[in-house]
A and B are shown apart, each in its own frame.
Chain A
Amino acid sequence: MGDQTKGAAGGAEHLGESTTGQKLDLRKRFRIKEMLIQVFLFLSGALSILTTIGIVYELGNDALNFFTRRSWENTNKPVAVSISPQTTTFDVGTGGATLREGQTIRIRNEIMEITEIEGTMISVERGLDNTEAVSHDAGTTIFIGTNVSLIEFFTSTKWNPQISQFGILPLVNATLMTSTIAMIVALPLGLSVAIYLSEYASERARGFIKPTLEVLAGIPTVVYGYFALTFMTPILRTVFGRDVVSIYNTASAGIVIGILILPLVSSISEDALSAVPRSLREAAYAIGATKLETAVKVVLPAAFSGISAAFIVAISRAIGETMIVAIASGASPNFTFNPFKPAETMTGHIVRISGGDLSYDSIDYNSVFAIGLMLFFMTLILNMISQRVVRRFREVYE
């Protein structure tokens, strides 16, 4: 063994001498080019982390602006006496709305916080939020500042930021309606297609059907929106009557979203079904099970993890779907459970509001991000559940 090493080293020495006249150095060299390339590769990989941080930070930041933003309400209560920049306790009289301790108030441009109330006299902290404490004349109106409260955001059923109505429920409700309708269409159909393709279809039929469904999956969603408005809605209106079904409605949008996610459900489920080993099916046939029994009682449970992942991914896709609802489900936030009435979804609202030249730092701009953040977390949680389900319930067959 020692001889061999010696021989190899001798060979290298010989090679080195014959070309350069120097000893060949076989140690690992530091290569600057390789280093730079590796750094570039790493940065490209890390960009995805930056994207996520960017999404969470920007959405969170503007959503925070949305929740900390004050809207000013007129109290019809004037300051009873003239006050100087130093005054911290003054009379506000008895007229107009009642004030409470801890409230933020505004007199002209100056913002104050009420620290104490005694009868008609209030004590305040002056010049908050970088405003300057100045003197005010008697009779200047007091405004109360109100924030968007989380309770209002999640419980109120009215959404109209322009007039300080901030209940997200109508938008969430519409999103859930379209998604539910979509799932009612896509789940049974998608699963049926998957079972047919993996258990029944001949090679030739598969060769035709699978690419067709892939074409269906590759069509842009805006085209489906057009389809919903010009094909599905007229059909619904003919079937259920023109006075029952509005031109814009959640049913039409939901059905078309269902059609959109049908290839997604069927292709992921079919992959899961096909991955179940043949031996399981043959064992089932051997004990006399019919094709259906084999498919439903043996293959389907074995592919459970893949199929449930497909369902969850499909739900997340339906919730995030934008153009179909923007085109076909109406343009006013509307809290209704009637699928034939127009109702704007979260995504539809974002598209409509940001469609024009949205000015930065307006209430609309911030509200769009608050909705976006909520949408992001809804889909993120669904995606994480689906990945966990796949890992947790995967049946491994040797």
Chain B
Amino acid sequence: MSLDYISDLESEAEEKFERIGEFELNTGRRHGISRLWFFIFRASTVFGIIVLAALLLNISNNAFGYVVVLNQVEPETLAVDGVPLEELPKEAMVEIFASNVSSGLYRRFDNEKPFAERSRQDVLNLVEDWVINPQVERTWSLYESLFMRQQISTEFENNFEHGELVFRSWVSSEFFTSPQSAEPEQAGVRTAILGSLWMITITILFAFPTGVAAAIYLEEYASDNFFNRIIQTNINNLAGVPSIIYGLLGLAIFVRLLEPFTSGAAFGQTIDAATANGRTILSAGLTLGLLILPLIIINAQEAIRAVPSTIRQASYGIGATRWQTVWNHVLPSAISGILTGTILAISRAVGETAPLVVIGASTFITIDPSGPFSKFTALPIQVYQWTVRPQAEFRNIAAAAIIVLLILLLSLNTSAVWLRNRFGRRL
């Protein structure tokens, strides 16, 4: 019997030994699969980075490159008695302008601002824009401009008798300073940048105090009852509502219902060409304010929650009231987190397009916005408008406008990081 037992043990051990062999075979395969998936995971991550690079390269590719510029009238032919255009007196330039454009156009500019009141530089710009009228006939992308110069110059020589082959950066100082224009060569983003800044100012003035106040209420004051739980759930849900729905809300409430206020009529603002019923900067700013309010609240709540309760207890312990505790102790400790969250929310608002389209941002506007009751356009609206135009040159200025927009966002985000480092208090 004992012998049997021993042989049983032996056979069992043999079996086990064989299994270990199986395990070893199996391990190799399993590690192989593991390694394979490791490469798949890493490739996905690299893909994400490649896409970001492709996005940025694609934009730069369209924002810079060679262009063929063709003047409608050569500047040399406009010289009077051998004096080149740039050195002519203002009156002579006005004469040149009047004789080269239609009388209707001349009257339009005269009505806008009489020629007698215009400066010499102003008239010179008009002559350059409307008489010389340089047109971009053909554009090449940055990639082509860098690596296929030979082909570009042969194509230029074969196809264009007149004209000039120049390397053009569509982002230029004129691009920042000129207003919108129907001609892509002269169009700029000044009105759009000013519109965006006005709008964001209103958004901040509305959303920052309200958002921080709501966060303080929820974190420091609200007891855990039904109503407060509803508020909290509701804020979480609002953060997930698509931005276009906020656009519809803004259209129904700010543009339509509150038209007397948002158009400025209730504040004695005269209704002129610059005001557009309720479709004003004020409506847009408030709509974007509502849109980012949940984001600001959630971020501020997190910052306030991170303040250790010992600080509050110490404050209460020396007899401070609840508001004194919040104002003197909790807020100063949480402020860097609150500001960081707010700036990130604001950069979201700067890039929002859909709600602005819905509440009716003007698509074509050449006058600078002058206050909260002006019609307006904004940077992302410009990008959208120029992108959907079929002409190739509009794609170029859309790319240029995107670069301006991204620079604006980048500086906002940098300031968020800076704030976090500057005021971040160690607790």
List 6 additional contacts besides A193-B48, A350-B247; criterion CB under 8 Å: A45-B214, A55-B246, A230-B62, A326-B384, A347-B244, A350-B248
Cα distance A88–B327 in the bound complex, in angstroms: 74
Q: Does A368 contact B (CB under 8 A)?
A: yes
Q: Encode A298-330 as 1/0 by CB contact (under 8 A) with B.
A: 000000000000000100110111110011000
What 0/1 readout, one digit per residue, does chain B (308-335) give for beta carbons within 8 Å of chain A?
A: 0000000000000111000000000000
Mark contacts of B10-54 with chain A using CB atoms, 8 A cut-off: 1 yes-contact digit, 0 otherwise: 000000000000000001001101100110111111011101101
Determine whether the beta carbon of B245 is less than 8 Å from that of A195: no
Closest A residue to B322 by beta carbon equals A34
Within the complex, which residue of A33, A48, A375 is in contact with B297, where a contact is CB–CB below 8 Å? A48
Q: How large is the interface on B (under 10, 10 to 19, 20 to 34, 35 or more residues)?
A: 35 or more
Contact assessment for B221 and A38 in the assembled complex, using a CB-CB cutoff below 8 Å? yes
Secondary structure at the B interface, as helix, strand, loop or mixed, is helix
- Identify A323's interface contact among B51, B294, B384, CB under 8 A: B384
- Interchain CB contact under 8 A, B48 and A212: yes
Q: How far is the CA of A262 from the CA of B46 in the complex (A)?
A: 13
Say whether A323 contacts B353, CB under 8 Å: yes
- Interchain CB contact (< 8 A) of B360 among A200, A357, A372: A357
Q: Which residues in B have some Cβ–Cβ distance to A below 8 Å?
A: 27, 30-31, 33-34, 37-38, 40-45, 47-49, 51-52, 54-55, 58-59, 62, 209-211, 213-214, 216-218, 221-222, 228, 230-231, 233-238, 240-249, 251-253, 256, 290, 293-294, 297, 321-323, 344, 347-348, 350-354, 357-358, 360, 363, 380, 383-384, 387-388, 395, 398-399, 402, 405-406, 409, 413
Q: Nearest CB to that of B321 among chain A residues?
A: A34
Interface assignment of A387: CB less than 8 Å from any CB of chain B: yes
Select which of A197, A224, A376 is within 8 A of B245 by beta carbon. Answer: A376
Cβ contacts under 8 Å, B217 to chain A:
38, 41-42, 44-45
CA distance A370 to B400 in the complex (A): 37
A394 interfacial by beta-carbon distance below 8 Å: no
**Chain B residues closer than 8 Å to A259, beta-carbon distance:** 51
Check if A90 is an interface residue, CB within 8 A of chain B: no
**Any chain B CB within 8 A of the CB of A1?**
no
**Chain A residues touching B, majority SS:** helix
The answer for the CA separation of A224 and B380 in the assembled complex, in Å, is 12
Chain A residues with Cβ under 8 A from B246's Cβ?
55
Q: Is A89 an interface residue (CB 8 A)?
A: no
**Chain A contact residues, CB within 8 Å of chain B:** 31, 33-34, 37-38, 40-42, 44-49, 51-52, 54-55, 58-59, 61-62, 188-189, 192-193, 195-197, 200-201, 209, 212-213, 215-216, 218-227, 229-231, 259, 262-263, 266, 288, 290-293, 313, 316-317, 319-323, 326-327, 347, 350-351, 354-355, 357-358, 360, 368-369, 372, 375-376, 379-380, 382-384, 387
Contact indicator A350/B395 (Cβ below 8 Å): no
Top 4 closest pairs, chain A to chain B, by CB: A320-B242, A220-B351, A192-B44, A44-B213
Q: Judge whether B231 and A48 touch: CB under 8 Å.
A: yes
Determine the distance from Cα of A111 to Cα of B14 in the docked complex, in whole angstroms.
Answer: 97
Contact of A44 among B38, B59, B210, B321 (CB under 8 A): B210
Contacts of B245 in A (CB 8 A): 55, 59, 320, 372, 375-376, 379
In the complex, what residues of B have CB within 8 A of residue A193's CB? 41, 44-45, 48
Check if A189 sits within 8 Å of B48, measured CB to CB. yes
On whether the beta carbons of A223 and B251 are closer than 8 Å, the reply is no
Task: Judge whether A354 and B41 touch: CB under 8 Å.
Answer: no
Is B213 within 8 A of A40, CB to CB? yes
CB–CB B45/A197 < 8 A: yes
Contact A216 B51 (CB under 8 A): yes
Residues of B within 8 A of A320 (CB): 241-245
Q: Bound state CA distance, A44 and B207, in angstroms?
A: 10
Q: Which residue of B lies closest to A36 (CB)?
A: B323
